[in-house]
Structure formats: structure tokens, C-alpha cells
A and B are shown apart, each in its own frame.
Chain A
């Protein structure tokens, strides 16, 4: 084969050209990839150019991504990522490729590249970024926790070195009665696209604690989509801290598919400069007695823009559902913007669902109180912002993980002060 690879092209055309150059070389179901490519060709990058507006992407347009030129992913030399205290197992991906030398995988780990499995929950036909991932996914992490087993804590680390684009495919399955704590970190350097799709199955009575620390490079695009299915009496307890990225979006679609299932989708977003970060959730209560909780806090400085879209869906049969969602935003600068769309879609009558949203500045009275007691202005603001975030962070029970999140927040705040 002496085929000369065509010059790279920006935007959707670039990704499609890349796919065409790789047909046959990518692992797994090629028909599924072809269908995804057709869907992506039809949809394009949301907001990446003129064309039909997608309501789900109302507040986030990928125009800047469409202008990027990406080279095929390399395997650069990088420093060892930080190790989480107490985490026995670590799985590291560099530019989307598994890096064995840096990893200490658990027994129930498999590589997507070795054992490709696209799962059953994702919507490549309806979600353009999922279509892009399905079309180009080359590697990823598969975890299968056997029934009634405690999988301990696993640290999934992604490191990007731009300019490149990678689309990892992760699959986490907890058999009935299993439990796992999954810490996911994402960081890197330079302009890159990290576009992971993660599928999670929480079996009957199983429990997954999922903490995500997104601290991508300020020039990078971090667009993640997560599909979760929670069976009877299962619990999916997630917390996302979004700090990084030029344009970032974390989309979670969780379905409570068995009675008495529970989902917690808590998050905090801290943004500055010209960052744009979008936290989008859809919680679907399909069966009775489900409970879902979401507390989402946003702190916006500079000219940053925060987006929260959260929908709670309650199906006809999902009686006795208890759904709650709270979104709060602090605007620290006159140029920051918050856009929020909390939605309720209720088809059952015996339910209790509510949402609340507030957007505003720090309370002048509270600042005055602290300053009158000799606290400098910057510190007073820091104290109040910290207090504002505490409610969200408190949802994370694991001390070591919470310390990591707190360090992330402290680092963000130091950057603000500097």
C-alpha cells in the first residue's frame, strides 16, 4: 500500500476523511461504524457551520472546533500522571491509546482495541458527537465487575498532547451486587479534541461511585458523552468537576430502568477567561420508586460562559418518582454569562419532582460582613465562593478523592487571584 494520505481538512470533513483512510483498520463492528459515519455526515458538528440548529446544542456551538486542523494521534513521551492515594488500580490513556507502562490495571480490565464492544445504550443516530466517536473509536477501557464483588477504586486517566483528536470508548459493567469507585481525570497540553463515549451498566443492587475531574488544557476541546443504565435498587452516584477546556461539554444520559434505582448527577463548573463549559443531563425515570438528585454549581469569572441543561423525564409507569434538581450560578465578572435550561417532562401523576435555579453575584452583605471583620476583599470572595462550592463537593464521600477535587478548586482560585 503506497496510498498517500490526503492533506488534513478541518471540521467534519476532516474527521470523515480520517475515517475513510482507516476503514478496515479500526477494531470492531464495521457496519456500525459505517452507519455512524453516515449519521455524522448528515448531522455535522453541532453549531459547526450553517444548517439546522439542534435544540440539545442550543447554547454550545462547535464553530471553533470546526476550524481546527488535527493530525493523527501520536504516542508522545509524557511524564507519569499523578497517582491517587489509595487507588490500587490505574488505567492510563495517552491521546486515547492505552499506555501499559504507566498503568496498573485491575483483573477485570480489558482494552477496547483488543475486545471491541460498542455496548447497547448509545445513540450514534441521534447524537452527532457519539456518531463521531463510534466512527473513529480506536481504544478505551472495559471494566466488568463480577456479581457481588467490590472492585475497589480504579483511576482512569486521560492525557492529551495536541494537536490531535481522539475518541476513546469506555464500557463499565457492574453485575448485580457489585460495587466500584471510579475516578476519572482528564488533562493535557495544547489544542486537542478529547471525545470519549462511556457506557455504564449498574446491575441490580450494584453501586458505582463515579468522580470526574476534567482539567483539560485551556486550548483543548473536551466533549464527553455518558450513557448509564441503572437496574433495580442500583445506585449511580456521580460528581463532575469541570475546570478546563476551551469548549467543554459533559453530557450524561442516565436511565433508571428498574424500580427503586437511584442516580446522583452532581457537578461544579469553575470557569475563567473565554472558557465555555456545558453540563447537560437527562435523567429518565422509567420504573417506579426511583430517586434522582442533582446539585450543579457554577462559578464564572472573566468572559466565561457556563451552560447547564438538565431534564428529568418521568415515564407513565414511573409512579412514586422523587426527582430533584438545583442549579446555582455565581457570576464573578460583568462579562460572564450563564445559560440554564432545567426541564421537567412528567407523564405519571403520583410523583414529586422539582427544580430550582438561581443566578446572581456574591451577596454584598456577606462580603461586607467579612470585610468589616478585617478580611481582605479577595479573601472574602474566596471564602464565599468556597462556601458556595462546599455543598456540591460534600456529596463526594471518599476523602482522598475529595482532597483531589479541593486541590483542583484551590488551583483554580490561585489562578484567579494571580
Chain B
């Protein structure tokens, strides 16, 4: 049996065994009626106790969205989405607002336990002295459907002046900051899904790192879609003032169900002089079953603005889930000598469709960017890298290096590469390389003749193929990411 055939079998056996994290918790939900109109937006704004400028902003976005058309250029195929058949607001019913973890709905805690999320404050690595432990702690702002229900480590963060809270809270408590930055990187009319998000976003995270502060811990959020027929529209805004540093982790899994669910998030990052933001994602929404039924539609707009000199924004993503992924984490490199990075592993199996990549817009002198994208297609899936590198006339001595590699496993999948490269500055240097191949017979042979089983050999080669990206992940995520890769391609990857 050929490797490809075995792999197909293996992938199939995984899918048949079912989605490991596909379960559902029963918590009473507070649902807005289905459909989208100005009244729903007013309701969302009211529930969030928002000031009137926020409501006006939402309504403006809604008006823009009404005039826009759903984009069709991505290599994804799905039945038309009925935007009036969704609930735009869902919140777990509050029991007078939990003050501590003891008061958090035990159902919810149990669910996080099943997912292995370290919600409780605890020493992560045993045997390390308490000061060290504190440094390695991870703050979790858990988003359960649309409302943040538990926030931890606030005190430690507060001490250093870092603001880390649900965005709805930030709108109330830090209106000036939110007003100044929201929509400044992804304007309300940027694209169809961003406009939709701007109109109806219900929650997400807000992070503000003051001047010169190195955030004392990794910040992380776990998203989870839970209620039937609810779209999730998170809005995340991260601002790093001059000289500030922050590393933000985002990960998600979702329960198994048959109906497609829409997820249209917007993430905006702003980095000032000498600031750096590292944004890491492990995405594992429910991908649909082996026949392509169900699964999450993940239409995300992520963009960072390197506004300051020597600022740096780094995106790392491991994408294994979702029925459809439409996602292009981008960097606008305005600052002199600013740096943008994009490291991505995208795995698709069964009927999954991923159209993902990045945009690097070089405007500042001496700006640099690195793009490393690894796509793995198996089953009947389609995996597309779509990217843009633009050197503006002002981008003297700017530099880009792009490497896109695709690996095909099985004869029924597709791998595509669609890079756009535009240069208007002769001193800027752009380099782009892309390859498509299968696992080389000679590599397999080399491993096999040293006694590795075929499965271990494939595992080793796939891990090596993704190594450039995985090594960019923070330690806490690298383990989870490797686990996800293994599960996604179980059988062929061990």
C-alpha cells in the first residue's frame, strides 16, 4: 500500500472516530431574536451598556455593510449565508456576576477542564520558586460565547499598568483609548465581514501596554462557540505604547454540531516606537464531519499597524480546524525599520477549505518582513495561500522574504498559491519562493532504512516541514500545536 493510500486511511479513521472536543454544555442562554437590523444593534449596544458614540459607530458600520457585497474571490465554496437566520447576541445567564472562580458556573468550569484550559490560578511548572511561577503565569480571559465570564490575574497586570479586559468593559472604563484606536487599523468599511463585525461585535479582548512596559505574562484567550445558531463576532484590540512588549495567545475548539456557524472576528494591533506584539493562534474550530457536513465558517480580519520606528508585529498561526477559513493576518509597516512577520501552518483534511495568507504593506524606510507559510492538504480538501507584498514608493531599502511550501497527501486534495508582489521602489528587495510537493520517496526511504516505521517517518517529515513555524510559537502553545497537528493527520503522523 502506498504512503498516500495509508495516509488517507489514517485520516479517515481519525474523522470516523469523531471530533475529540465535540461536546456541548447545557447552560441557559440569553438569546436575542434571530436576524439583523438596527434594532438588534441597538439591543446589543444597550446590553453592553455602551456610550452613544459606540452605538453610532456600530450603526455607521451597519449602513456600510448594507451597501457591500459578500466577497467571492477566495477559493472557497459554500451555500449562501442567510444573515437574517442568525442570532447576533447570546450570553450565558448571569447569576449576579461571579466575583471569583468559586462563583463561576460549574458547568463552564467543567467544560474548560475537559479542554484542558488552565483557568484556575496555579503554578504552571511544579518545583519552580513562586517568583518564577508568577512570571510564567498565563492570564486567561475566557470568552464563553459572547460574554467574558472569568478574568484572572487582573491584579498582577494592574500592578504593571497593563489593561487586559473584555472590550465591552474597556468601552465603558477606557472610552478614550477605545475611541482613539478602534477601527483605526481595520476601518468599518474595510471589507464585508469586518463591517459586519463592527456592527454587531459582542465581545473580545482589550489590551493596553503602557510606555516601556514589558507585559509580565503571556496573555491568552480561549474562544468557544457554544449556542446553536449563534455567530461569534469578537473584536480584539491590542495597543503597545512606545517600548512596550506583549505576547498574546489565542486558541479555540468548538463543540460538534451539524449546522454551519459563522465566525467573523476582527483583531487590530497597534505598535508604537520600539514596541513589539507577538500574536499566536491555534485554531481548531469544528471542521465538519467526514462528508463535509457542518463546521465553522471562519472569516477573520486580522491586521497590525507598526506605527512607530523599530516596532514589530509577529503573527504565528496553526490552523487545523474550521470548515472554511478566510483569514489574512497582515502588517502595515509604517514605521522606519519596522518589522512584520507571518508564520503559518494550515492543515486541511476531508472537505475543509482554507484560503489564508498575509499582506505585508511596506511604507516605512528600512522596513522588513518575513513570511513563512506551510500548507498541508489531505483528503478532499483545498488549501490556498493568498498573500500580498507591497513596496510603496517610500519604502527605501525595505526587504521581504517569502517562503510558501505546500505538501499534498492523497490524490483528491488541492494546494494553491496566489501571491501578489508589487514593488515601486528600486532599493527595496523582494524575494518569493514557493514549492509544492509530496513527501519525497527518498526522505521516506532514508528514514525507513534506519528502522523507523512508515508512520513514524511521515510524522518526522511532516514535523520537519512545519518546524520553521512551530518554533515561533510560545512554549505553552508549541505543545498544543504539535498535538493538534498529530490529531489532524493521525495515523500518518503518529
B is bound to A: yes
Q: What is the 8 Å Cβ interface bit string for chain A, positions 318-353, against chain B (1 contact, 0 not)?
A: 010000000001011110111111111111111111
In this complex, what residue of B is CB-closest to A364?
B427
A394 at the interface (CB under 8 A from B): no
A356 at the interface (CB under 8 A from B): yes
Q: How many residues of B contact A (CB 8 A)?
A: 36
A359 at the interface (CB under 8 A from B): yes
Cβ A336 vs Cβ B426 within 8 A:
yes
A107 → B minimal CB distance (Å): 45
Cβ B414 vs Cβ A354 within 8 A:
no
Within 8 A of A (CB), among B424-461: 424-438
How far, in angstroms, from A340 to B389 measured CA to CA in the complex?
A: 10
In this complex, what residue of A is CB-closest to B2?
A350
How far, in angstroms, from A339 to B420 measured CA to CA in the complex?
A: 7
A399 at the interface (CB under 8 A from B): no
B415 at the interface (CB under 8 A from A): yes
Q: What is the 8 Å Cβ interface bit string for chain A, positions 353-367, against chain B (1 contact, 0 not)?
A: 111111111000000
B195 → A minimal CB distance (Å): 19
A289 → B minimal CB distance (Å): 15
Within 8 A of A (CB), among B373-418: 391, 393, 406, 408-418
In this complex, what residue of A is CB-closest to B386?
A343
Cβ B424 vs Cβ A337 within 8 A:
yes
Name A342's contact: one of B410, B424, B432, B437 (CB within 8 Å): B432
Cβ A357 vs Cβ B431 within 8 A:
yes
Name B437's contact: one of A340, A341, A352, A355 (CB within 8 Å): A352
How far, in angstroms, from A55 to B417 measured CA to CA in the complex?
A: 15
Cβ A331 vs Cβ B423 within 8 A:
yes
B421 at the interface (CB under 8 A from A): yes
B53 at the interface (CB under 8 A from A): no
A316 at the interface (CB under 8 A from B): yes
* Cβ–Cβ < 8 Å partners of A339 in chain B: 420-423
Given contacts A329-B423, A351-B437, contact A360 B429 (CB under 8 A): yes
* Cβ–Cβ < 8 Å partners of B73 in chain A: 55
B210 at the interface (CB under 8 A from A): no
Cβ A358 vs Cβ B431 within 8 A:
yes
Given contacts A346-B436, A352-B437, A358-B430, contact A340 B416 (CB under 8 A): no
* Cβ–Cβ < 8 Å partners of A331 in chain B: 423, 425-426
Cβ B428 vs Cβ A345 within 8 A:
no
Q: How large is the interface on A (under 10, 10 to 19, 20 to 34, 35 or more residues)?
A: 20 to 34
Given contacts A349-B409, A354-B434, contact A359 B418 (CB under 8 A): no
In this complex, what residue of B is CB-closest to A307?
B422
How far, in angstroms, from A14 to B413 measured CA to CA in the complex?
A: 47
B4 at the interface (CB under 8 A from A): yes
B419 at the interface (CB under 8 A from A): yes
Cβ A361 vs Cβ B426 within 8 A:
yes
A339 → B minimal CB distance (Å): 5
How far, in angstroms, from A338 to B413 measured CA to CA in the complex?
A: 33
A355 → B minimal CB distance (Å): 5
How far, in angstroms, from A361 to B4 measured CA to CA in the complex?
A: 44
Name A359's contact: one of B393, B414, B429 (CB within 8 Å): B429
B10 → A minimal CB distance (Å): 15
How far, in angstroms, from A351 to B426 measured CA to CA in the complex?
A: 35
Cβ B416 vs Cβ A333 within 8 A:
no
A341 → B minimal CB distance (Å): 5
B71 → A minimal CB distance (Å): 12
Q: What is the 8 Å Cβ interface bit string for chain A, positions 70-94, against chain B (1 contact, 0 not)?
A: 0000000000000000000000000
In this complex, what residue of B is CB-closest to A348?
B411
Given contacts A351-B436, A354-B436, contact A341 B418 (CB under 8 A): yes
By DSSP majority rule, is chain A's interface helix, strand, loop, or mixed? strand
Given contacts A55-B73, A356-B433, contact A350 B438 (CB under 8 A): yes
* Cβ–Cβ < 8 Å partners of B429 in chain A: 358-361
Within 8 A of B (CB), among A219-275: none
Name A341's contact: one of B408, B413, B420 (CB within 8 Å): B420
Cβ B432 vs Cβ A356 within 8 A:
yes
Cβ A357 vs Cβ B427 within 8 A:
no
In this complex, what residue of A is CB-closest to B436?
A353
* Cβ–Cβ < 8 Å partners of A343 in chain B: 416-419
In this complex, what residue of B is CB-closest to A321?
B436
Q: What is the 8 Å Cβ interface bit string for chain B, positions 217-249, against chain A (1 contact, 0 not)?
A: 000000000000000000000000000000000
Q: Taking each of B391, B413, B428, B432, which has the highest tally of chain A beta carbons within 10 Å of its own beta carbon?
A: B432
* Cβ–Cβ < 8 Å partners of A348 in chain B: 408, 411
In this complex, what residue of A is CB-closest to B412?
A316
Given contacts A337-B422, A354-B435, A354-B436, contact A349 B410 (CB under 8 A): yes
Name A344's contact: one of B417, B421, B438 (CB within 8 Å): B417
How far, in angstroms, from A355 to B405 measured CA to CA in the complex?
A: 10
How far, in angstroms, from A342 to B416 measured CA to CA in the complex?
A: 11
In this complex, what residue of B is CB-closest to A352?
B437
B327 → A minimal CB distance (Å): 19
A340 → B minimal CB distance (Å): 4
Given contacts A353-B436, A354-B436, contact A346 B418 (CB under 8 A): no
* Cβ–Cβ < 8 Å partners of A329 in chain B: 423
Name B421's contact: one of A333, A353, A359, A361 (CB within 8 Å): A359
Cβ A342 vs Cβ B422 within 8 A:
no
A409 → B minimal CB distance (Å): 20
How far, in angstroms, from A361 to B423 measured CA to CA in the complex?
A: 11
How far, in angstroms, from A333 to B416 measured CA to CA in the complex?
A: 33
B180 → A minimal CB distance (Å): 34
How far, in angstroms, from A356 to B391 measured CA to CA in the complex?
A: 17
In this complex, what residue of A is CB-closest to B437?
A352
A321 → B minimal CB distance (Å): 10
B435 → A minimal CB distance (Å): 4
In this complex, what residue of B is CB-closest to A319?
B411
A270 → B minimal CB distance (Å): 15
How far, in angstroms, from A342 to B417 measured CA to CA in the complex?
A: 8
How far, in angstroms, from A285 to B218 measured CA to CA in the complex?
A: 48
In this complex, what residue of B is CB-closest to A350?
B438
How far, in angstroms, from A334 to B396 measured CA to CA in the complex?
A: 10
* Cβ–Cβ < 8 Å partners of B422 in chain A: 337-340
Cβ A358 vs Cβ B436 within 8 A:
no
In this complex, what residue of B is CB-closest to A311?
B418
A106 → B minimal CB distance (Å): 42
How far, in angstroms, from A135 to B429 measured CA to CA in the complex?
A: 44
* Cβ–Cβ < 8 Å partners of B434 in chain A: 342, 344, 354-356
Cβ A346 vs Cβ B416 within 8 A:
yes
* Cβ–Cβ < 8 Å partners of A319 in chain B: 411
Cβ A316 vs Cβ B426 within 8 A:
no
* Cβ–Cβ < 8 Å partners of A334 in chain B: 393, 425-426
How far, in angstroms, from A316 to B412 measured CA to CA in the complex?
A: 7
Cβ B427 vs Cβ A349 within 8 A:
no
Within 8 A of B (CB), among A43-59: 55
How far, in angstroms, from A200 to B50 measured CA to CA in the complex?
A: 66
User: 8 closest Cβ contacts across the A-B interface?
Assistant: A331-B426, A349-B408, A361-B426, A357-B432, A344-B417, A360-B429, A359-B423, A340-B421
List 5 other contacts, CB 8 Å, given A350-B411, A357-B421: A342-B419, A344-B415, A346-B415, A350-B4, A361-B429
The 13 listed contacts between A and B (C-beta, < 8 Å) are: A332-B426, A334-B426, A337-B423, A338-B421, A339-B420, A339-B421, A339-B423, A347-B413, A349-B413, A352-B435, A355-B432, A359-B391, A361-B429
Mark B residues whose CB is within 8 Å of A.
Answer: 4, 73, 391, 393, 406, 408-438
